[in-house]
Structure 1
């Protein structure tokens, strides 16, 4: 069975849904049958797949309906064909797939918890700011869980710090799509992924990333030029439309109005930015915000490296009235 057709979650339903961004979006889902209960959506980041949630999902599926999409253009869901790779467009397409899978409509609405790591976290941030736009189609975002990022505008603005930009050189590199695809193809996409995953904080974290042959899965997906280009287009959108939208958001006072849990690596994002203070400026006044710094040398890949801590904090957060 090829990776394109394999299900990483055999106990969940595997779905393939056409979307307005042109992608045939692959997702894994489970519905516990409570139409009043929220759907927990979990979106992966770079350079990985939905397989990153494997340590967490088994403990959640008995409590929540879940929807776990494969990002368009990351090797399993087909690429975006419209040319719009913005978080707004891709996120809206992911919600379209969720609506189709769960038969959501204005007459049969569902609450949704927006959850994501890395690029997935950026999509959830965008969808959270735009939450009221989806009420008309039956989707009511009720909370956001964002793992190991600061907002895209903040990330780019602090690139004036030489130490910071050195650690995140891949942002401007990947955003130069044609050059990046050629260079990564020459270097080897799989080899590049294996290098990127060394951003794990320590040996324990690395062993958790490697569990279940996950690194081989991620590396194989990035051997395809289609994946290299699709993921680079994602970064190009961050440097373009995504940044512009967040500039406009801040000018207009459009901020997250959902209860929000942010978790960041204390040794990574937490050390390079004052995440608790940064995120306060991106959440509406009076809105619940919890920012957790994950210590013990944990690196960027929180859903794998620190899956026990992430699960504990998620369950604690979701146990509130969301």
Structure 2
């Protein structure tokens, strides 16, 4: 693990392997630990960079700057500081929301773009997908409420995470993908001082993200090769239309027998999809 001091933020980052660079961006409520099974499957032929996104894990818990455009600039500076001028990007969940402005702002640096169980807020039907009244998850609204999650989750972080992970994984309330040890890792990260506030910042920034994403889209499509990976029992391809609105070269695929947490539930299958795509 390495700690890189970037303007306004310190980023905890793991780097493994050798070859073309790959940036793996985790989702909420996880950390770079989410990619623990995928990294060894890629590191024999790629240099794999796995940060804790700002606000998560051991990275800085800033007072602001969690709009995805700002986070994208942080991770791009991370890659350039590591000496990688071009790289593949894979974003799961919230990591995919960061990946889009990264591609819109620094498309020349990207070798490819992959969304895993992720989409682009503000485009297509994404706002409906995030609305509990139209079939989306209630936690979007809960996480956006100022101060309330900080109050209600204090000392109860593990219970909240266990509910979310069990709900959204293939086994519903029984799963081997994220076990008690893994839950403890994520619970410790969320229970750290300021972590609930920081990680909820990704949701509270969604109105700004919507505005930014619509402006990016209006400026022209992302031209880098783009893949959307959906899980049969997760979000699936429900956000595919948002990516198709933003990029000109989009393909998609399914991961069967899998819930939302593809990097942990089906790491070998995900790694195989990525390698086949990158080397075709």
TM-score of the pair, normalised by structure 2 = 0.91
Of 293, 307, 312, the residue aligned with 2:272 is 312
Is 1:41 matched with 2:51? no
Structure 2 SS opposite 1:115:
strand
Of 16, 24, 32, the residue aligned with 1:30 is 16
* Gap change, CA 1:236 and 1:263, over 3 Å in 2: same
Moved more, 200-209 or 140-149: 200-209
Is 1:217 matched with 2:217? no
* Gap change, CA 1:159 and 1:70, over 3 Å in 2: closer
Of 16, 38, 56, the residue aligned with 2:38 is 56
Contact 2:17 2:44 in 1 (8 A): no
How far 1:258 moved relative to its partner? Answer: 0.9
* Gap change, CA 1:205 and 1:147, over 3 Å in 2: farther
Is 1:201 matched with 2:170? yes
In the aligned structure 1, how far is the partner of 2:130 from the partner of 2:6? 34
Query: Deviation string for 1:238-264 (max 9, x for gaps)?
Result: 2x21111122233x2532211111111
Is 1:290 matched with 2:251? yes
In the aligned structure 1, how far is the partner of 2:28 from the partner of 2:56? 8
In the aligned structure 2, how far is the partner of 1:203 from the partner of 1:194? 11
How far 1:232 moved relative to its partner? Answer: 0.7
Of 113, 118, 123, the residue aligned with 1:149 is 118
* Residue of structure 2 equivalent to 1:243: 210
Structure 2 SS opposite 1:206:
coil
Is 1:162 matched with 2:133? yes
* Gap change, CA 1:262 and 1:193, over 3 Å in 2: same
Is 1:279 matched with 2:243? yes
Structure 2 SS opposite 1:208:
coil
Of 74, 87, 99, the residue aligned with 1:124 is 99
In the aligned structure 2, how far is the partner of 1:115 from the partner of 1:80? 24
Q: What residue ranges of structure 2 are gaps of 5+ in the alignment?
A: none
Contact 2:11 2:51 in 1 (8 A): yes
How far 1:159 moved relative to its partner? Answer: 4.6
Q: What residue ranges of structure 1 are gaps of 5+ in the alignment?
A: 1-13, 105-109
TM-score of the pair, normalised by structure 1 = 0.79
Is 1:264 matched with 2:230? yes
In the aligned structure 1, how far is the partner of 2:174 from the partner of 2:240? 24
In the aligned structure 2, how far is the partner of 1:263 from the partner of 1:203? 20
* Gap change, CA 1:279 and 1:96, over 3 Å in 2: closer
Q: Pairwise CA RMSD of aligned residues?
A: 2.2
Of 37, 41, 65, the residue aligned with 2:47 is 65
In the aligned structure 1, how far is the partner of 2:196 from the partner of 2:13? 20
Of 65, 81, 85, the residue aligned with 1:84 is 65
Structure 1 SS opposite 2:135:
helix
Query: Deviation string for 1:264-318 (max 9, x for gaps)?
Result: 12223127x3x4444322212xx2x22112222x111010111122111111111
How far 1:219 moved relative to its partner? Answer: 1.2
Structure 2 SS opposite 1:270:
coil
Contact 1:75 1:226 in 2 (8 A): no
Structure number with greater Rg is: 1
Structure 1 stretches of at least 4 aligned residues deviating more than 4 Å after TM superposition: 275-278
In the aligned structure 2, how far is the partner of 1:128 from the partner of 1:300? 23
In the aligned structure 2, how far is the partner of 1:170 from the partner of 1:241? 18
Contact 2:190 2:196 in 1 (8 A): yes
Query: Deviation string for 1:164-210 (max 9, x for gaps)?
Result: 13xx1111211113122112226x11221111111111279820222
